[in-house]
Amino acid sequence: MPRRQPLVIGHRGAPGYRPEHTRSSYGLAIALGVDAVEPDVVVSSDGVLVVRHENEIGSTTDVADRPEFADRRTTKTVEGAALTGWFTEDFTWAELSTLRCRERLPQLRPTSAGFDGEEPPLRLHDLLDLVRTASREQGREIGVVVELKHATALGELGFDLAALVAAELREAGWADGGLPLVIESFESTVLAGVKAHGIRAELVYLLEASGRPYDLVVADGAAAPAYPWFASPAGLDGLVGVVDGISVDKRMILAPDRFGRAAGPARLVDDAHERGLTVFTWTCRPENVFLLPPFRRLGPKAMWGRYEQEWRLIADAGVDGVFVDHPDLGMSFFRGR
């Protein structure tokens, strides 16, 4: 059943105000009342699950300024694209824990960048414990939406991400369905792997507005379906019984035309609901640079535009959950309507 009001999910915590994926970012999101928080999960060389936006950490930590790690800088092909930097799978957790986090978009979010260098990265276990403690202290259920990153690419390096996550969730007491847990990924095969390990969680398939799932490209090559196909009625039919829901790029709901004007909300949400699938969308942000052109104000990219008008279309579509970078704005809009 569609929710009357969407879940408000702190996307990487509260990255509009603090460097993403830090303890203070998550703590602020929870203090501002979000229903859940969303960590991205990658892996260290010794198999520790690390909370980072990507496995490349050159822009989100101070690793580039650490001479002892200068020789770790390398170029890798990640899901078909060459990428140069420092990668979590080339560091032990003990080494990663000595780093300090930085704002990923300092020019856009200078206030957040003012907290650079203050906090180390988190492990998934750390985040799960933080949320459990906050739930108990606040007397309410707070969920975790765990995004699994680059499962197939990490599998090619010898890491079974589904097995590592299942073991971590069991150890942390999050595997039996007693606490609100969602597992999401852009790759359906790792979601199937988590399910096979008996983890009780809502499984959500992330869909881009373009491109193809890397796991299916590896398996099927040019025959792999594109992400938008999974949002079609036929694609949604195929997801029934495989996952519990989808999480889509907001453009798939707003349906901008060639001039960037919203033609939506599209039928996608209704189509999914008719098949018993929940629908989340990402990411609701107020800055001009992230808004469709008609909702921007005259001014710099960092200026807050007419975000409420864009968000109204998303809310009117009937989504079940929204990812937000500014939890106070998200709670005020999606709960104050």
Q: Determine the pLDDT at residue 317.
A: 97
Percent of the chain whose predicted confidence (pLDDT) is above 90: 96
- Tokens 């260098």 label which residue? 117
Using an 8 Å Cβ cutoff, are 137 and 144 in contact?
no
Q: Is the pLDDT of residue 296 over 90?
A: yes
Comparing 4 with 117, the larger pLDDT belongs to 117
Q: Tell me what the mean pLDDT of segment 161-177 comes to.
A: 97
Q: What is the mean pLDDT of residues 17-31?
A: 98
List, for residues 242-288, the tens digit of each pLDDT value: 999 999 999 999 999 999 999 989 999 999 999 999 999 999 999 99
Task: Kindly report whether the peptide bond that precedes residue 283 is cis, defined as omega within 30 degrees of 0.
Answer: yes
Summarised one tens digit per residue, pLDDT across range 196-249 is 999 999 999 999 999 999 999 999 999 999 999 999 999 999 999 999 999 999
Can you name the residues that pair with 324 across neighbouring β-strands? 10, 284
Give the pTM.
0.96
Structure tokens at 111: 């206030």
Q: What DSSP character marks residue 248?
A: E
The yes-or-no verdict on residue 337 having pLDDT over 60 is: no
Answer for the pair 205, 243: CB distance below 8 angstroms, yes or no: yes
Average pLDDT of the chain, as a whole number: 96
User: Using one digit for the tens of pLDDT, what is the confidence trace for 115-162?
Assistant: 999 999 999 999 999 999 999 999 999 999 999 999 999 999 999 999
The pLDDT-based confidence of 80 (bands split at 50, 70, 90) is confident
Q: Where are the domains of the chain?
A: 7-336
Residue 2 confidence (pLDDT): 47
Q: What separation in angstroms does the CA of 219 have from each of 104, 154, 161, 162?
A: 33, 15, 18, 18
Checking DSSP bridges between strand 181-185 and strand 81-85, what pairing results, if any?
A: unpaired
Quick one: three-class SS letters along 135-201? Answer: HHHHCCCCEEEEEECCHHHHHHCCCCHHHHHHHHHHHHCCCCCCCCEEEEECCHHHHHHHHHCCCCC
At the topology level, CATH places domain 7-336 in TIM Barrel (3.20.20)
φ and ψ of 109, to 5 deg: -130, 70
Region at 139 (left for phi over 0; alpha for psi -120 to 50; beta for the rest)? left
pLDDT at 30 over 70: yes
Given this model, what pLDDT does residue 3 score?
53
Beta bridge partners of 56: 87
The neighbour count for residue 49, using CB atoms within 10 Å, is 27
pLDDT grade, residue 336 (50/70/90)? confident
Q: How confident is the model at residue 335 (pLDDT cuts 50, 70, 90)?
A: confident
Amino acid at 332: S
Mean pLDDT across the stretch 4-15?
A: 94
Q: How far apart are CA 55 and CA 228, in angstroms?
A: 26
Q: Which residues contact 14 (CB under 8 A, 6 or more apart)?
A: 25, 26, 28, 29, 32, 325, 326, 327
* pLDDT computed for residue 1 by the predictor: 45
Go through the chain and tell me how many residues it has.
Answer: 337
Strand spans (E) along the chain: 7-11, 36-38, 40-43, 49-51, 74-78, 81-85, 122-123, 143-148, 181-185, 202-207, 245-249, 278-284, 321-324
Kind plus residue range of the DSSP H or E element containing 220 = helix 214-220
To which residue do tokens 């170029």 refer? 75
| Mean pLDDT, range 164-176, rounded to an integer | 97
